[in-house]
Structure 1
Amino acid sequence: MPTTIIDGHEIQVDAEGFMTELEEWSEPLAKSLAHQIGLELTDEHWKAIRFLRSDYREQGETATLRRISVVGGIPTKELFALFPQKPAKKLAYVAGLPKPHGCV
């Protein structure tokens, strides 16, 4: 597995840069990951991130946008505003989770 250094920590990642070890993630690391893709995290971002991580622990896979919207209660339009262009992919990246199935 490849690794990368973020804020002085060696992180296990896949070929696309998504974290592969759930326990390596932390909220300070999420802020650094967000910064790398041009995001400044707000309370609304954290709501989505925390839902996604919680759902991943329960379901064993990264939720799709539809699931985040329906189960997490965050409208799709809001997700696009929070994580522009590729919300599911960007949200998973910042949350330290695998890329959702079906994301290109």
Structure 2
Amino acid sequence: MLPPEAFDREGFLHDLDSWSPEVARQIAAGEGIELGDEHWEVIHLLREYYSSFDSSPAMRPLVKYCALKLGPDKGRSIYLLKLFPGSPAKLGSKIAGLPKPDNCL
């Protein structure tokens, strides 16, 4: 469990290397989300995207990447909104230990 000072005021990690599955569970719990297999699938995909493109995806690229990697049923905003309510790109990136996507408020 990381101390509060490990996060910025919006709850994103200061040090991306301090992320772990346990930290993801800690962040998700703070957002009222219990992580299931579907969440982990998207979290791993977000981390793969960041590793490939050196940035967190905004919503549209996230949807397209999910469709490409996970198939058309999971590459839909409605699917991602069920897993990560509000702003899937922002919330998913936060839980995945990544920086806030550039164009997210």
Same fold, TM-score > 0.5, yes or no: yes
Q: Which amino acid aligns with 1:100?
A: P
- Higher RCO (C-alpha 8 Å, min separation 6): 2
Runs of at least 5 residues in structure 1 that lack an aligned partner in the other structure? 1-6
Identity, % of aligned pairs? 36
Rounded Cα–Cα distance in structure 2 between residues aligned with 1:82 and 1:17: 18
Q: Which amino acid aligns with 2:14?
A: T
User: Shift of the alpha carbon at 1:72?
Assistant: 2.1
Correspondence for 2:96? 95
Correspondence for 2:7? 13
Contact 1:20/1:97 (CA < 8 Å) preserved in 2?
no
Per-residue CA distance 1:6-62 (angstroms, 9 max, x = gap): x2x346333422113221100111011100000011111111100001110111110
Rounded Cα–Cα distance in structure 1 between residues aligned with 2:22 and 2:11: 18
Q: Which amino acid aligns with 1:69?
A: V
Runs of at least 5 residues in structure 2 that lack an aligned partner in the other structure? 68-74
Match of 1:61, SS?
coil
User: Shift of the alpha carbon at 1:88?
Assistant: 1.5
Contact 2:58/2:90 (CA < 8 Å) preserved in 1?
no
* CA-atom RMSD in angstroms: 1.5
Please report the TM-score for the alignment, with normalisation by the length of structure 2. 0.83
Q: 1:27-66 maps to which residues of 2 (within 5 A)?
A: 27-66=21-60
Correspondence for 1:77? 78
Match of 2:66, SS?
coil
Contact 1:62/1:92 (CA < 8 Å) preserved in 2?
yes
Per-residue CA distance 1:42-97 (angstroms, 9 max, x = gap): 11111110000111011111011111211222311101111111211111111111
**When the two structures are aligned, how many residues end up with a matched partner?**
97
